[in-house]
Every structure is written in C-alpha cells, then in structure tokens.
Amino acid sequence: MKRLSVVLLLSALCAVVAEPPVGKNWQLVFEDQFDYPDAQLDQNWISQNSSSGHILCSRWRENARVEDGILNLINRKEQRGGQDWTSASLWTKRRFKYGYFECRYRYAAATGTNNSFWLTTTHGGAKLPEGIKHFEIDINEGHYPDKINITIHNLSDFWKDNAGRRRHHSWSNSICLTPAKKIGQAAHEIRLEQPLRTSKVRFSSRHPDRFHLRSLRVFPKLADGKYPDITSNAALPDGLIDYARTATITDSSGSNPDFLQYRVEHVIDGGIDTSWITPYDGEKFIELDLGAEYEVACVQFLTGWVDGKKGYVLYIDTFKLELWVDGAWREVARREPTPYVPAIDLSADFHTYALEWNEKELIFFFDGKEMDRRKNDICHWEAPVFLSLAIGRFGGPVTDAIDGTIMAVDYVKVWQEKAEE
C-alpha cells in the first residue's frame, strides 16, 4: 500500500509539468486552455458529426462541452447515426509540421474506451506531394485504467493479409503502467486422482474479453504418468490416444465475428499453431462429445498467443472444467479470476502526454518522462491535432458502465523551434 501511495504522489507531481525538453529554442505557437464559453470551441476546433464504422459509436459536437476550463468529451448510450453509442472527436483548424505537442487529460473511467491525442494527414482528403506519405501518429490511445498505446501508422503503403483484408504498415508500443506479475499460466494440465468414465468434456470461462484457446486434449491414464508437453507442438507418442481429436464440438456462439478465420475446430486439430478466438461477451464454452464413454485421467489445454521473446501472453486466469458423469456435469477443476489493481488509475487524475516530432525522430513522453523514441521514416508533412474519445472492444469489455463517462482535457499546447535570426 505504501508503494502504491508513493507511485501516485510522484505521478501527480510530474503531471503539473508542461514544458518541452531543454536544449532547443522552443516557441509556443498554439495553446488552448479551454477557459472560455462552450460556443467558442468552434473557433479553433472542427468537430466530427457523423458515424464511425471502425468503432461502436458515432461522434458529435453535442458530446463535446467546455465547462469550467475543461473540455469534456462525453460518452452516451443512445442510438444515433446507426450506432448504439455516441461520443466526440475534434481536430484543430490549424496544421503543424514538427514541434513539441503536449496534452493534459484524464481518461474516461470505463473499459472499452479509447482516450486519444493524435495527428494525421489523411483528414479532409488532403493530397500530398509525390514522395510524401500519409501517416498517423498516435501520441496516446489510452485504455482505462492504466494503458498507454503509442502507434505510428503508414497510411500510404498497403498490403493484404491471409484473409484478403487490406492492411497498412504500422509500429506500436503498448505500455501498461502496472508492473506485470504472473497471474496464472498459459498451459494447464488437470490430472484426476481417480480416472472417470465420461462421454463429454466441457471447458468454460467467464473471462471478460475474448481470448485464444489453442488446444484442448483428453487422455486416458498412463502407466508412467508422463503426458507430453502441450506447448511443444510435437506429435503424440505412438499408442497415446487423444479422445478430443475425433469429438463433435458444441460451442457458445460460434467464431468471433471479427476473426472468422479462427474457428472452434482448431481447438482439437492436434496443433497449437491455430486457435479459436472466443466471442467477446458472456460465458465462453465448448463441449466435446467423445462419441462413446471412455476412462479419462488427464485433460490439457493452452490459451493465449506467443509474442516474440515474451512467450505466451494474454492467457486467461479463470476457467472451469467439467466431465459428464452418471448423467450430470461434474466439476473437476476451477480457477477464479485474480482481481486487477492498477498502480495508477489514469481516470482518477490529469496526466500529460507529449511528443517531440522532428525530421529525424519521434520521441514520446508521459508526465515529462520519455517513454519511447523511434526513427522518423515517414512523418514529414503538416497535420492537425486531434482529441478523440471512442468506444471499441479493443479497449476492453464494452458495458453500460461507459454511459456518462468523460475524457476531460485540461489543455493542449504546441511548441516549435524558433528560427535562428
């Protein structure tokens, strides 16, 4: 508790700092403190007034309100523009090329929200000179309660993925401010003290978001008790039967609508290179009908996905495993979710997010501390500054808790280097 208090105190102290890095002749060229009546917002900013097909909300000027020196971007659960939610997005009338960009804001206090400060050249159908690329710089697409997401998008060069969908090249860094700790494991092996005769196996989870289920295997008792490691992806030893391979599957609600290529059949295909991505909401489950009654002594399953040198990530820590025994489901294993306590709740107070953008580099800051830097390969044209609140499952579970939440903006400032006289 003492450590958490220190983290919050230091962060609060840092958050009041609003100055670009030393060593350059900076000149303040744009500033909005929102210290005026709401009607004056339109003097410096243009508001979106339309639907947004890539997210779950439409966005409107009415959802952006200036009050008591704060710009409030407001989420509302209401049907408008063909969508079930409304929110707000706006951008500066003025465009900028290079400089130090800073915004002090507070996240909306709900998962499923995207609290963004960014720049892009693509708005308004701008045509760029030959050789200049369209780009987007996400200084922060913040996700409640403690995630900072930095991304650079190349919006001129596209390619198609294996599903035939049009993709663009990008680089991103997702930063969680809560130190990582192991909450479970990706691979699970449930051994029964006494084998049970069963014809059905049921795996379920109330994990609050989608997840990958890579494999589920069902084995008889082995004399030596040495079952193969499910993460090795090696073929089973001769003579070892996996009853799941020939099972009939019933699942919660089919494939995830955003990832139709990840089908539930992949769970029993014998490998871990494929997976089923579960639906977003509600209980996720699959039932395996083994086709006959067998004596089962061990069940293995693997969740999550491999992220380079990090190994398996985003595996679940809540599940239940049941076998059909004597005409009823019998629970044989269960894990309850581990409560998540963020070190810093970015919706509880204001924090600064900033970018130093020059011809050679893009340097990102949080509360005055450098978080990352990248070589500037494509960002070489002027762009407006955006403030946007959005609703989408990429920010976590979308629930009614979002209704009425606010991304509150204290100020936006832009400095540029002063030309030498």
Q: For residue 28, what pLDDT is reported? A: 97
Whole-angstrom distance, CA of residue 375 vs CA of residue 361: 5
Whole-angstrom distance, CA of residue 366 vs CA of residue 359: 21
Q: Are β-strands 57-59 and 85-96 bridged in parallel, bridged antiparallel, or unpaired?
A: parallel
Q: For residue 247, what pLDDT is reported? A: 97
Whole-angstrom distance, CA of residue 183 vs CA of residue 312: 13
Q: For residue 23, what pLDDT is reported? A: 87
Residues 16-50 have pLDDT tens digits of: 556 898 889 999 999 999 999 999 999 999 999 99
Tallying the residues shown for the chain, one arrives at 421
Residues 365-408 have pLDDT tens digits of: 999 999 999 999 999 999 999 999 999 999 999 999 999 999 99
Residue with more model confidence, 263 or 416: 416
Query: Alpha-carbon torsion 225, 231, 232, 234, what sign?
Result: positive
Q: For residue 5, what pLDDT is reported? A: 41
User: pLDDT tier at 7 (50, 70, 90 boundaries)?
Assistant: very low
Is the pLDDT at 1 greater than 70, yes or no?
Answer: no
Q: What is the mean pLDDT of the chain?
A: 91
Contacts of 222 (CB under 8 A, 6+ apart): 240, 297, 298
Is the pLDDT at 6 greater than 90, yes or no?
Answer: no
Least confident window among 11-20, 52-61, 303-312, 317-326: 11-20
Q: What is the DSSP letter of 11?
A: H
Kindly calculate the radius of gyration of the chain based on its CA atoms and give it in whole angstroms. 25
Average pLDDT value for residue range 205-226? 93
Extract the tokens encoding 414.
């832009």
User: pLDDT tier at 209 (50, 70, 90 boundaries)?
Assistant: confident
CA dihedral 238, 239, 240, 245 (to 10 degrees): 90
Q: For residue 8, what pLDDT is reported? A: 43
CA nearest 202: which of 304, 300, 327, 320?
320
Whole-angstrom distance, CA of residue 97 vs CA of residue 378: 12
pTM of the model: 0.82
Q: For residue 388, what pLDDT is reported? A: 98
Whole-angstrom distance, CA of residue 416 vs CA of residue 101: 9
Q: For residue 337, what pLDDT is reported? A: 84
Instruction: For residue 145, say if its preceding peptide bond is cis, omega within 30 degrees of 0.
Output: yes
Average pLDDT value for residue range 278-285? 87
Residues 132-145 have pLDDT tens digits of: 999 999 999 999 99
Q: How far is CA 125 from the centre of its chain?
A: 28
Q: For residue 122, what pLDDT is reported? A: 87
- Phi/psi of residue 243, nearest 5 degrees: -65, -20
